[in-house]
Chains A and B, each alone.
Chain A
């Protein structure tokens, strides 16, 4: 039992070390490497444009359920018109970036790990290396940059749709006075909430791309190896997003004086 626990700890520490080394290589490559614009644009299309439907549905229904739930609680203390303010602040700094990142981790993280894992088991990554191309330059850097560009944009989209759908639920389904609802939302929402959300989205984009690329590049042999890498990419990305979100909230809250 102790031996198993030891092995597990060593394995986790080894993986963390390897991801740190990969991060260092990616940053060095991104700084010095002339970005292949075609690859970068394709990855932005793949991560950003093709994630539209999941992000829109997630944002819309999160905004709707949050506004309804807030109304149910606030109605008891006659604070109905503050419902949309709660939706706005929550969507901007927490739910928008986190839920968008989780959805993108599920869709894009799995696809990246599966693609790179298949390339590894079919020797395509070795073929890249024999063609004097560094896999980090060609495969990881465009995905990383694209995820860090696409995630903030998707997050903004999710926030807008979430607030918009929350507004519709509040006004048309729950019958709240729209002028006070809107005024309270503007009064309690601040630019800094949006900035915090966008910074988080930028960091989450990096987390998804790094972990998914790492899992793909180091996947085991055969179909089982690719399947395991795909699963681990999604699970590890999601957990890392949730854990890092807590610390980012604390750190950025402290920085902007909310704590």
Chain B
């Protein structure tokens, strides 16, 4: 279980998160939505300990990770896999080396076992036979799938996705959505997805957190979010901007 308590974070004078609290149960699929620059990715990075809050706590299975140093965090992070917005593949390595990284560093597998496991996860993400390619040779969608393969190869309990469909065409976005659902259902992982793609939010999540004005504005199921008549929720769900009266 993940519990975030009274989280506050500022960068310089700019406050990003203000008294954010919520809980995520094991096996849940939670979507975090909100405006661009609203602190969604910052919140996600707090959950895995990549950022330290100004105040507040983040508890992972009862352990407060805010109080841990970088070395203590390494143990907790074995429970997580994370897919980055830009995939963050190691560009000096091939696809196979990227995917196998977590296994090679921490588990005692033979080369044959690693090769087999890499082939298996690349098959799960619909990229069989790409082992020897370099990240530079891959499209945006393929890079994100390799990032997902790298994140799930050591079977984490929790997978974090930072805007997995941003910058992808609708068909590739759809395939990534289906992939996230497949990973969630097959590996029984807790999924936390940061997105502002409402179609993706509706399909992938069974719980939605909406960040607005530095706070959790809505904490509900996707159905109640889409049925909400709250003007701020409605504006975000319908994607309506406040038009400027005058251009100049």
B12 to chain A, nearest CB (A): 14
Given contacts A133-B74, A134-B70, contact A127 B88 (CB under 8 A): yes
Q: Which single residue of chain B is at the shortest CB-CB distance from A36?
A: B105
Neighbour of A131 across the interface among B45, B75, B86, B101, CB < 8 A: B101
Neighbour of B71 across the interface among A122, A127, A134, A138, CB < 8 A: A134
Check if A190 is an interface residue, CB within 8 A of chain B.
no
Which of B19-27, B32-40, B76-84 faces chain A? B76-84
Check if B149 is an interface residue, CB within 8 A of chain A.
no
Cβ of B84 and Cβ of A129 under 8 Å apart? Answer: no
**A-facing mask of B149-169, CB < 8 A → 1, else 0?**
011000000001000000000
Cβ of B105 and Cβ of A133 under 8 Å apart? Answer: yes
B113 to chain A, nearest CB (A): 18
B contact residues around A15 at 8 Å (CB)? none
Cβ of A126 and Cβ of B106 under 8 Å apart? Answer: no
Neighbour of A132 across the interface among B45, B50, B77, CB < 8 A: B77
Q: How many of chain B's residues touch chain A, expressed as a range?
A: 20 to 34
Cβ of B86 and Cβ of A123 under 8 Å apart? Answer: yes
A contact residues around B80 at 8 Å (CB)? 130
Neighbour of A123 across the interface among B78, B84, B101, B150, CB < 8 A: B84
Q: How many A-B residue pairs have CB under 8 A?
A: 54
Given contacts A124-B90, A124-B91, A126-B50, contact A132 B74 (CB under 8 A): yes
Cβ of A132 and Cβ of B82 under 8 Å apart? Answer: no
Within 8 A of B (CB), among A4-61: none
B41 to chain A, nearest CB (A): 10
B contact residues around A134 at 8 Å (CB)? 70-71, 74
Cβ of A127 and Cβ of B75 under 8 Å apart? Answer: no
Check if B102 is an interface residue, CB within 8 A of chain A.
yes
Q: Which single residue of chain B is at the shortest CB-CB distance from A129?
A: B50
Q: How many of chain A's residues touch chain B, expressed as a range?
A: 10 to 19
Check if B48 is an interface residue, CB within 8 A of chain A.
yes
> In this complex, which of A119, A124, A131 has the most chain B Cβ atoms within 10 angstroms of its Cβ?
A131
Within 8 A of B (CB), among A74-133: 119, 122-124, 126-127, 129-133
Q: Complex Cα distance A129/B88, Å?
A: 12
B contact residues around A131 at 8 Å (CB)? 77, 101-102, 105, 150
Neighbour of B106 across the interface among A119, A123, A130, A132, CB < 8 A: A132
Q: Complex Cα distance A208/B45, Å?
A: 32
B231 to chain A, nearest CB (A): 35
A contact residues around B74 at 8 Å (CB)? 129, 132-134
B160 to chain A, nearest CB (A): 8
Cβ of B71 and Cβ of A132 under 8 Å apart? Answer: no
- Contacts A126-B45, A131-B101 given; 20 further ones with Cβ under 8 A? A122-B91, A123-B85, A124-B91, A126-B84, A127-B82, A127-B84, A127-B88, A127-B89, A129-B50, A130-B48, A130-B81, A130-B82, A131-B150, A132-B74, A132-B77, A132-B106, A133-B74, A133-B101, A133-B105, A138-B105
Please give the residue numbers on chain A whose beta carbons come within 8 Å of chain B beta carbons, in ascending order: 119, 122-124, 126-127, 129-134, 138
In the complex, 21 of the A-B residue pairs with CB atoms within 8 angstroms, ordered by the A residue number, are A122-B88, A123-B84, A124-B89, A126-B50, A126-B84, A129-B50, A130-B48, A130-B82, A131-B101, A131-B102, A131-B105, A131-B150, A132-B74, A132-B75, A132-B78, A132-B102, A132-B105, A133-B74, A134-B70, A134-B74, A138-B105
